[in-house]
Amino acid sequence: MAIVPGWDASSARAAAGAGRDCCVDGSADATGDHDVWVPVDLHTHADFCDDVHHTAAELSQQMETAGLGAASVLLWGNWKNDLAYLTGLDDSVSTPSRLVHFDVEISGFQAATGGHLLLLGLPPSAGPEVWLEPYSYPGGSGIPIVETGFGRLAALRGMAHTWTWPADGTFPSPPLGCCMALELPVHVARGGIDFLSTEYDFDVPETSGSLVVWERLLDSGFKVPFAPASDFSCLQSRVGALRSWVMIRGALSYSAVLGAVKAGRVVAVADDSPRWLDLRVHGARLGDTINVTSGKPLDLEVESDQPVEGLLRIVVNGQSVHEETLPAGKQTRRVSLVVDRSAWIRASIPKATTSPVYVTVDGAPIRPSADAPCYFMRYIDQLSGLVDSRAVDVGPDTDVALQGYAEARKVFETRFREAGGTNCP
């Protein structure tokens, strides 16, 4: 695999032809003959947090400095003034190798109570449906936004700030700080979001809740990619301070980037370094599902590029099954392992992880843990009580929220039984 240490045409041309897949600039190979790794930041802002309006040209310049190929600039603060930017098209400052695209974050007003939703790839037809008075309605749940509001039109729907999730096995509960992702498991169970995001280093204990909740969802059998971003200028001071590599095929486009995230072809990076990682399982790419027979060895290929030496880990159903220290620079390792049950598999190096490849053994669904869906069943019981008592006030959305929570709980209960669970205390 050839990769690009930064996102520019010259380094892309140097990489072309160096491997069976290559990274190219957006003007090359529109026929789709090559896999293209693109570094992206799917959560930035032009307004509000630092009291400065950052023009699209300024954001594009930051992207160039950071070596990014695409950035989502999300409306949420200066709502009425910025609504005109929501055209469904790439901004006019975009080039074939650098895309600036305006979309929406559900944040900064009432509807953010249940968590900050990222609605990406909204079409031009969404414009008339976007609220003109978002501070008064919807209430506090994302359920009506995702399922009946304009959010249903988004090509890609994510939830930000998963670093707010407790890493110690407890539940999010009042008093609520910034951005708590209260409805995250509800939306995952109901098919309402396509990816999870975080804006802080997921490798450190203080903000590792994002990995904890993500792996519990994977252990519950959900196929959810993990795509960090910067939240410039609110939580990080630089566009691309956290980023995701996404693998597209052929020419760069915003729809191709969003489609790659939805398909799970994502590598999460917790800083602004050019580190990179890839994993294949029996030739299958990130996000793919393959079926194997019980007892058959799996051939894994890991490719990495990191600035200093660091520990490679292969993680299967949340357990590290292979560890070795890799030197700095481009490396390739091959690992053989046998899994005795259906599994999700990811690879990690310091400050980077792939989204999983999924392996079903003899056609069985991936249900490695009854504890994980039980945890979410108990959490949804708590959340329902908080909303019903108005300890968490979602206003006019209360009834639809409680109905949605009950439906999500049934999904987790089904998966709990499928995993062999009998009693969830």
Q: What is the mean pLDDT of residues 211-231?
A: 98
Q: Which CATH number belongs to the domain containing residue 191 in this structure?
A: 3.20.20.140
How sure is the predictor about 33, in pLDDT bands with cuts at 50, 70 and 90? low
Residue 325 or residue 75, greater confidence: 325
Q: Are residues 378 and 333 in the same domain?
A: no
Q: Are residues 341 and 208 in the same domain?
A: no
Q: Which CATH number belongs to the domain containing residue 308 in this structure?
A: 2.60.40
DSSP-derived letter for residue 54 is P
How sure is the predictor about 138, in pLDDT bands with cuts at 50, 70 and 90? low
Instruction: Please provide the distance, in angstroms rounded to a whole number, between the alpha carbons at the two ends of the chain.
Output: 48
Angstrom CA distances, 187 to 111, 157, 227, stand at 14, 10, 17
Asked whether the beta carbons of 314 and 324 are under 8 A apart, the reply is no
Q: Is residue 281 part of a domain?
A: no
pTM surpassing 0.85?
Answer: yes
Q: Are residues 73 and 157 in the same domain?
A: yes
pLDDT digits (tens, 9 = 90+) for 88-113: 999 999 999 999 999 999 887 777 89
Mean pLDDT of the chain: 89
Q: Is residue 424 part of a domain?
A: no
**Closest to 98 measured CA to CA, from 122, 62, 45:** 62
Beta bridge partners of 268: 244, 353
Q: What is the mean pLDDT of residues 221-236?
A: 96
Q: Are residues 345 and 377 in the same domain?
A: no
pLDDT at position 137 is 65
Q: Are residues 247 and 150 in the same domain?
A: yes
Q: What is the mean pLDDT of residues 311-315?
A: 98
Q: Is residue 23 part of a domain?
A: no
Q: Are residues 213 and 316 in the same domain?
A: no
Q: Are residues 249 and 156 in the same domain?
A: yes
pLDDT at position 108 is 76
How sure is the predictor about 177, in pLDDT bands with cuts at 50, 70 and 90? confident
Q: Are residues 266 and 300 in the same domain?
A: no
Q: What is the mean pLDDT of residues 338-357?
A: 97
Domain extent at residue 48: 38-274
**Structure tokens given for 304:** 């990495």
CB under 8 Å to 409, separation ≥6 — which residues? 189, 376, 377, 380, 381, 384
pLDDT at position 129 is 79
Q: Is residue 26 part of a domain?
A: no
How sure is the predictor about 30, in pLDDT bands with cuts at 50, 70 and 90? very low
Q: Is residue 30 part of a domain?
A: no
- Among residues 361, 391, 409, which one ends one of the domains? 361
Q: What is the mean pLDDT of residues 132-157?
A: 84
Q: CA–CA separation, 245 vs 268, rounded Å?
A: 7
Q: Is residue 5 part of a domain?
A: no
Q: Are residues 62 and 193 in the same domain?
A: yes
Buried b (16+ CB within 10 A) or exposed e, 211-228: bbbbbbbbbbbbbbbbbb
Percent of the chain with pLDDT over 70: 90
Q: Are residues 323 and 251 in the same domain?
A: no
Q: Are residues 120 and 260 in the same domain?
A: yes
Alpha helix segments (H runs only) across 120-208: 143-147, 184-189
Q: CA–CA separation, 386 vs 408, rounded Å?
A: 16
How sure is the predictor about 49, in pLDDT bands with cuts at 50, 70 and 90? confident
Asked whether the beta carbons of 95 and 35 are under 8 A apart, the reply is no
**Structure tokens given for 424:** 């969830």
Q: In what order do the strands lie in the sheet with 298-306?
A: 276-281, 298-306, 329-337
Does the pLDDT at position 1 exceed 60?
no
Q: Is residue 213 part of a domain?
A: yes
- Among residues 361, 391, 407, which one ends one of the domains? 361
Asked whether the beta carbons of 244 and 261 are under 8 A apart, the reply is yes
Does the pLDDT at position 412 exceed 60?
yes
Q: CA–CA separation, 201 vs 390, rounded Å?
A: 33
- Count: domains in the chain: 3
Q: What is the mean pLDDT of residues 366-376?
A: 97
Q: Are residues 137 and 177 in the same domain?
A: yes
How sure is the predictor about 80, in pLDDT bands with cuts at 50, 70 and 90? confident
CB under 8 Å to 180, separation ≥6 — which residues? 115, 161, 164, 172
Q: Is residue 171 part of a domain?
A: yes
pLDDT at position 31 is 42
DSSP-derived letter for residue 73 is E
